[in-house]
Chains A and B, each alone.
Chain A
Amino acid sequence: MLISLIKYEFKSTYKIFFILYALVLAFSFINRFTMGFDISGINYWSSYINIDARATALFIFGALYAFLLITTVIMTIFITIQRFYKNILGDTGYLMNTLPLRPWMNIFSKLFVSTFWILLGMFVCGISVVILFTAGLSISDILKGIFTIFSEINIDIFIWGIKFLISTIIGQAANVMIVYCSISTGHLFNSHKKLMAFITFLGIMIITNYVSSTLIFNPSFNFANFVTGHVISGSEWFCSVINASILFNIIYIAVTFIITNYILENKLNLE
């Protein structure tokens, strides 16, 4: 059942994301090409009568590329909200909530798919930036560069790379769950449901930001260091941030999941 839910969630969302990702990648290739143009001799703003075609192309394609990146981010957020709001608490919720399934399955399937698209979006945007800024470099140059950077950092790259990846995945999943929890909490009110959802979201954001600034990103959070006066290095700080953010994001996911599940199980009111 859960697998089927995930399958249908992918089916309902993949088209728009594939189109966006294809456009982002296509435009990064175009920009890689136009960025290679030599326009150093052209004063673009004063010689508009003789606007150089290459400079125009550079400007237009650059603007389109930026626009596409912004669109991808906005659409990802929009679809994350829309899929939960409409498909669980809107008209199609009449179908989803009358399926013989526990509410947690609906929540989990949406969480899984939304987090997947966010991560894939980040990956595609990352690849696109690499395509853009590595014009003229060979793959071996790039790998050598990456290796040089990592060899200067005094940590176990493999372990911390994986930890960083896990913290990114969990962090994005926590963001999605915070959105779901806010929408569900807004649903508890008889009127102004959207406004109440937004206020809940702001409230949760204040709490999580407070936790981030005081506990996660604060180097003196480690009490032993604080007592001994040990000044931690950049890489030690990085490791502590990763560990703490994994821990706190797991707590955020657990709390928001329990609240959302409780509301859908006991307080559902599709009026």
Chain B
Amino acid sequence: MSEYILECGNLIKNYGNKKVLKGINLSFAKGKIIGLLGPNGSGKTTFIKIAAGLLKQTGGEIKIDNKKIGIETKAIVSYLPERTYLENSMRVVDTIKFFKDFYSDFDEVKALNMLQKLNINISDSLKTMSKGTKEKVQLILVMSRNAKIYFLDEPIAGVDPAARDYIINTIINNYNENSTIVISTHLISDIENILDEVVFIKNGEITLHKNVDEIREENGKSIDSLFREVFKC
């Protein structure tokens, strides 16, 4: 069995004439928290969407748990998009039932506990909630699955700094040792301490993929400082 949960080779994605991913080669080991870091428009979201099955690559190959993207990988991938993907007409309790109905790895008790800790009333309708609260509900649903790999696309971008701490704690506390978490963000300093590996992505190309400790040792600086240096405008 492969030690990697995700492997992709020469992954290419074009939108019309625009090249968004230019032949990416990546392997993510099992049980790691990986930061997918890059400026806006670098291809982070596109890469995650291909892995989640929302986009088809133009070329190359991507496999999760040694399977091509499809119904089997969707069952083991827990994906948090950068937008609200729940129906506004639903109440929180409906979204929990929905996840329970469709994902066999969904842990309802875990979700209810987290919602209670955040003082989110499960009988509240999503349409009455702020964007930040909706994002918290989504994150709780996504993290309440016992998935093999989590893709969290900008999980902290839309919430206030206090809530960011909670979200990061949620991610760590729900981290199963055998699962891999891929977090895409440009707010590096907030999450830097929880990362095992980082991937720098720039203009659709991987410029760096390394262990966080190695980077600190070799460069003598934080990931945030390195990022600012590499992606300096």
Contact = CB atoms under 8 A, between A and B. Distances in A.
To the question of whether A and B form a pair in one complex, the answer is yes
A94 B85 contact: yes
A267 B56 contact: yes
Interface stretch (A37-45, A95-103, A166-174, A201-209): A95-103
Contacts of A95: 85-86
Contacts of B94: 11
Contact of B102 (A1, A97, A191, A268): A1
B54 A94 contact: yes
B83 A94 contact: yes
Interface in B4-19: 15-16
Contacts of A92: 85-87
B83 A91 contact: yes
B83 A98 contact: no
A236 to B, nearest CB: 49
A233 to B, nearest CB: 52
A269 B56 contact: yes
Given A12-B87, A91-B84, A190-B15, A266 B53 contact: no
Nearest to B153: A94
A4 interface: yes
A266 B102 contact: no
Interface stretch (B74-82, B107-115, B189-197, B207-215): B74-82
Interface in A87-118: 87, 91-95, 97-102
B55 interface: yes
A270 B153 CA distance: 15
Interface in A8-34: 8, 11-12
Interface in B62-121: 71-72, 74-75, 77, 79, 81, 83-87, 89, 94, 98, 101-103
Given A93-B54, A98-B54, A98-B74, 16 more contacts: A1-B102, A8-B98, A91-B83, A91-B84, A91-B85, A92-B85, A93-B85, A94-B83, A95-B85, A98-B52, A99-B103, A100-B74, A100-B75, A100-B102, A101-B74, A270-B49
12 contacts: A4-B101, A4-B102, A8-B101, A94-B79, A94-B85, A98-B53, A98-B77, A101-B74, A268-B54, A268-B56, A269-B55, A271-B15
Those 3 A-B pairs whose CB atoms lie nearest each other, nearest first: A100-B75, A94-B85, A100-B74
Interface of B: 15-16, 49, 52-56, 71-72, 74-75, 77, 79, 81, 83-87, 89, 94, 98, 101-103
